[in-house]
Amino acid sequence: MTDGPLIVQSDKTLLLEIDHAQSNDARVAIAPFAELERAPEHVHTYRVTPLALWNARAAGHDAEQVVDALVRFSRYPVPQPLLVDVVDTMGRFGRLQLHKHPTHGLVLVSLDRAVLEEILRHKKIAPLLGARIDDDTVVVHPSERGNIKQLLLKIGWPAEDLAGYVDGEAHAISLAEDGWQLRDYQKLAAQSFWAGGSGVIVLPCGAGKTLVGAAAMAEAQATTLILVTNTVAGRQWKRELIARTSLTEDEIGEYSGEKKEIRPVTIATYQVLTRKSKGEYRHLELFDSRDWGLIVYDEVHLLPAPVFRMTADLQSRRRLGLTATLVREDGREGDVFSLIGPKRYDAPWRDIEAQGWIAPANCVEVRVTLTENERMIYATAEPEEKYKTCSTAHSKLKVVREIVDKHRGEPTLVIGAYLDQLDELGAALDAPIVQGSTKNKEREELFERFRQGEINTLVVSKVANFSIDLPEASVAIQVSGTFGSRQEEAQRLGRVLRPKADGRQAHFYSVVARDTLDADYAAHRQRFLAEQGYAYKIIDADDLLRPL
């Protein structure tokens, strides 16, 4: 027995003692192959899953490294069956490989003939396969490259994609060198992506994911399609690319609800791509409009299902996914792995903070006791209305006002999910509201006034969860959200993590109704950030005005 911080259990759970001197080293070592499940104060629970092991394998880690990490940090002997299972599970990756054949095009090659025989008889996979060239090789239709990877992953035989990529239409792109340079972790992220050809980069909000995208474009030297969450985010991308690269305004097109420009670098919104007209996706021709050399998926964890299906036809293009967290509440992380690629680089949030690139944050959960009337309304609400009822309780209003007063003069975002509540907050705080129906021109004007300090408080809907560049925001107050979404929590904290000019700390408040679903969802929402090392202090609303 050693004094390690990790307890490895035979059910594939890992218990990490947070207060141990080696806990951070252990966290970094297990992060590539273990997924966080629970994160209370002192002991975090991880689970070793097949997807996490295959993701590690695809990103270049082998079973020997995984076993070494478990044995090195474990307090007790690691169960032998678990180690065997790790080796066997990782050994399943790559027994099937996709290659480019000189005469037959895309082919599936088996390093284990029995596995090939098995999948040839699979009802869903067999129709995607063509002629058998020899005992170990079968033709795959190029358009099925993504679909077959998805299906093989689901049946436990993840294929290694070695078929390569087309270079696409060449287009000169270089990074501007005046007054700035890539940070070390941004360089490493871009290099890690390029070495693998496709995959996902995970960086904290405010750590410069756009610049990693720009560096990848400079490597590709090709036409690039960038998919973003909304028009405001797309225009921020355009501004950054003009400022940081050799690209001019004329070389960058916007493909949104307002404009339909196709240029060497085209920035399109997921929303316009997934808009149906007479039952058809009319904007799919965008994917075929140019010979794209690179496709960038901003906020890749939010990829809507129709874009997943479109992506299946784009497997010959290099694909870069950018996100602050790969967590998906619908469990479709496997689709991101199959269709975009494995995680190529993942920087712990606290590491980036320690380097001074994102602001330190104080996270506080403020628990509000509902009035007797509010409790009765909640108790008698229909199940589908319960969360809205408690998360929009009027009692929260006074608490939000007190927090705003406590931080008077500091740039503050008040974030909610329900329009009636946003209207109430806007009126009570005398603050402008930005929501889905706010015109893009008005949004941009309000955001600019906020950046310039003309407005100190903005009330925002979930349109501000992602890709909004408000570098001076230092206080975020969330009053309601998308149920228990962990990625939304991370995105919202990210609104205040950009480093402040005066070095001040960021503050992130969650205002939660006690003894309701609101509190249950809050606990779930906090899991991802707790894994990143952020501790939430819980205070009673009545104690708000006392020093924290």
pLDDT tens string 282-309: 777 777 788 999 999 998 877 767 776 6
207 and 298 housed in the same domain: yes
Look up the CATH number of the domain holding residue 293: 3.40.50.300
3-state SS, residue 9:
coil
3-state SS, residue 68:
helix
Residue 506 pLDDT class (50, 70, 90 cuts): confident
Q: What is the pLDDT of residue 125?
A: 94
Of 92, 126, 146, the residue that ends a domain is 92
CB hemisphere CA count around 134 (13 angstroms): 6
CA pair distance 35, 286, nearest whole angstrom: 36
Residue 312 pLDDT class (50, 70, 90 cuts): low
User: pLDDT digits over 110-143, tens only?
Assistant: 999 999 999 999 999 999 999 999 999 999 988 8
Q: Average pLDDT of the chain?
A: 87
Residue 12 pLDDT class (50, 70, 90 cuts): very high
- Give the DSSP letter string of 451-513: HTTS-SEEEE-GGGSSS---TT--EEEE---STT-HHHHHHHHHTT-SPPTT-PPEEEEEEEE
387 and 530 housed in the same domain: yes
The DSSP H or E segment spanning 109 is strand 105-110
CB-based contacts of 489, cutoff 8 Å, min separation 6:
478, 481, 525, 526, 528, 529
Residue 13 pLDDT class (50, 70, 90 cuts): very high
385 and 476 housed in the same domain: yes
Chain-centroid distance, C-alpha 95: 29
Does residue 547 or residue 242 have the better pLDDT? 242
User: pLDDT digits over 422-442, tens only?
Assistant: 999 999 999 999 887 888 888
Domain that holds residue 373: 359-543
Instruction: Tell whether 176 is covered by a domain.
Output: no
138 and 157 housed in the same domain: yes
pLDDT average, residue stretch 448-471: 79
3-state SS, residue 382:
coil
Q: What is the pLDDT of residue 39?
A: 63
Residue 187 has pLDDT above 70, yes or no: yes
223 and 340 housed in the same domain: yes
Per-position b or e across 344-362, b if 16+ CB within 10 A of its CB: bbbbbbbbbbeeebbbbbb
Instruction: Tell whether 1 is covered by a domain.
Output: no
151 and 241 housed in the same domain: no
> Of 145, 132, 143, 135, which Cα lies nearest the Cα of 104?
132
Residue 330 pLDDT class (50, 70, 90 cuts): low
Instruction: Tell whether 448 is covered by a domain.
Output: yes
Instruction: Tell whether 195 is covered by a domain.
Output: yes
Of 352, 375, 391, the residue that ends a domain is 352
- Helix H segments across 9-156? 23-30, 50-58, 63-73, 80-92, 113-120, 145-154
CA pair distance 273, 79, nearest whole angstrom: 49
Does residue 166 or residue 279 have the better pLDDT? 166
CA pair distance 158, 95, nearest whole angstrom: 8
**Two tokens, residue 542:** 């009545």
Residue 361 pLDDT class (50, 70, 90 cuts): confident
User: pLDDT digits over 386-400, tens only?
Assistant: 989 999 999 999 999
Instruction: Tell whether 175 is covered by a domain.
Output: no
- Give the DSSP letter string of 45-65: EEE--HHHHHHHHHTT--HHH
User: pLDDT digits over 48-78, tens only?
Assistant: 999 889 989 988 899 999 999 999 999 999 9
Collect contacts of 288-291 with beta carbons under 8 A, ≥24 apart: 289/262, 290/169, 290/223, 290/225, 290/262, 290/264, 290/266, 291/166, 291/168, 291/169, 291/223
**Two tokens, residue 392:** 């929009």
Of 73, 92, 111, the residue that ends a domain is 92
> Of 185, 240, 234, which Cα lies nearest the Cα of 207?
185
385 and 534 housed in the same domain: yes
Residue 351 has pLDDT above 90, yes or no: no
Residue 1 pLDDT class (50, 70, 90 cuts): low
250 and 324 housed in the same domain: yes
What is the DSSP code (8-state) at residue 170?
B
The DSSP H or E segment spanning 131 is strand 129-134
Interstrand relation of 294-297 and 318-323 (parallel, antiparallel or unpaired): parallel
Q: What is the pLDDT of residue 438?
A: 84
257 and 290 housed in the same domain: yes
pLDDT average, residue stretch 411-425: 91
Residue 328 has pLDDT above 70, yes or no: no
Instruction: Give the amino acid at 117.
Output: E
Residues composing the chain: 548
Count of structural domains within the chain = 4
Instruction: Tell whether 177 is covered by a domain.
Output: no
Identity of the highest mean pLDDT range in 23-27, 184-188, 314-318: 184-188
83 and 228 housed in the same domain: no
348 and 425 housed in the same domain: no
303 and 326 housed in the same domain: yes
